Amino acid sequence: MLRYMVVAGAGCALVSLFVPRERARVEVIDYPFLVFVVAVGVAAYLVIAGRRWVGVALAGVVFVLAAVAVGADVAHGLPEADLPLLAVGALAVAVGGLSAGSWRVRPLGVLGAVVVVGAAVVAPGVVEAAAVRSEVRGAWAEPPRPVVELAGTKRWKWQPPARLVGVVAAGHGVAVGTEDGAVVGLDGADGRPQWRYARSGALLLSVSASPDRRSVLALFDRDRQPPRRLLVALDADTGTPRFERAMKGRDLDVNLFVGATAVLTADSGGVSADDQGTGEERWRWRQPDGCRASVAGTGPAGVTVAVWCDDRLTVVGLAEDTGHERWRHDVTAERGAEVVTTTDGSVAHVRLSGPSPDVLVDVGSGRLTRLVDPPAAVDVEFGPAPVLRDRSRDAPVHAINPPPAAPCRSTWRAAR
């Protein structure tokens, strides 16, 4: 009388084949998956055909193997939804096969099928919850204080349980990422932990914060090899998860930028912007065929993108809210060239190898704001203003206030 339970179990196993695999899994689990699904189908057929105990034994073996695989998936911190479905299906076939009778509709048989479907719906969520350790706090009564610009006396010290991945100012203090797959929010006044989000076994690649310090974004992976990673957005004040999204792209640990309202990444197709609140894609800018694009920086002035096409480097400025191209500059350069921006994304620095002078670009307007002579060096990583210094160690250092547009050299072509 539990034949409908057997059929429901076989259906769960079949459905697991078509569940999108958003996170890359270790190959030792992926390769036998199709064999497991076929084995559940064969077990269901044997039960219905009258060879009940053989089918029950086969389904039981698949369930044990699937359960072990689920445990391994959870241990890596980034479980998929297909293995729990397979385990539910195998268990349903095994249990249903113990009392599989006629096809006559009876309440117990229908109830068994309903239970299987319900278990299949909740199983992926249960497995996901087993991989996450989340501790949140309530909302703060007062707004966060401004970030201190100048260093003062030491106010507190906090010892992380593992090696640091990154520290960012966020919410009412700082968010600290550690190599054990955890992100911890610390109170800026006394250093006490306020919230914690962890995926044990997962590798935390980076932790960053939105410019308004309201969101913390953590990028997780298994072993830096797969092309898919998991981006988790957290509320900076409470640690409450806002969204989780599988990300595809190369070098996401260094090629992921948090803008005012969007998260920007580059992949083989171009540059995409995902909404900070929901994780939904807002726009995508596609690079020319045969080229490779990277996000150099972002800020209120816009998004700076570096595009390599053979021996030509193109620096493109995009609007963060729409992705529309606002300006571009082309330059013939060697592969040693590099594009970086100031901390607020307002000025882009194009570092060129050889005798060619470095270039500064005003991101808001696209103007070439300064051509720097080879004897001088420029650094833009220290703040919102570029720093100009002589290559001599004892020479003075000057902060640059970008002047009006400068004439373009012949190697540069401004977009009209």
Cα–Cα nearest to 198, from 176, 183, 186, 208: 183
Give the number of other Cβ atoms within 10 Å of residue 235's Cβ: 19
Which residue, 179, 185, 173, is CA-closest to 204? 179
Residues 6+ apart with CB under 8 A from 233: 215, 216, 217, 241, 242, 243, 244, 263, 276, 277, 279
State the Cα–Cα distance between residues 87 and 98, nearest whole angstrom: 17
In whole angstroms, give the CA distance from residue 291 to residue 286: 10
Among the listed residues 334, 368, 333, 332, the one whose alpha carbon sits nearest the alpha carbon of residue 348: 368
Which residues, in sequence order, are bridge partners of residue 219? 206, 231
List per-residue pLDDT tens for the chain, 416 residues long.
477 888 999 999 999 988 877 665 555 556 678 899 999 999 999 988 888 889 999 999 999 999 998 998 888 888 888 999 999 999 999 998 887 666 565 677 788 889 999 999 999 999 999 999 999 998 887 888 776 666 667 788 899 988 999 999 898 999 999 988 999 999 988 889 999 999 988 889 889 888 888 899 998 887 665 556 888 999 999 999 998 888 765 556 556 788 888 888 887 778 888 888 888 889 999 988 888 888 888 888 899 999 988 778 889 999 998 999 999 988 766 656 788 888 778 888 887 776 666 778 888 888 876 555 555 666 766 666 676 666 565 555 656 665 444 443 333 333 33
Q: What 8-state DSSP symbol labels residue 150?
A: S
5 closest CA partner among 116, 90, 107: 116
- Separate counts of helices (H) and strands (E) for the chain: 6, 25
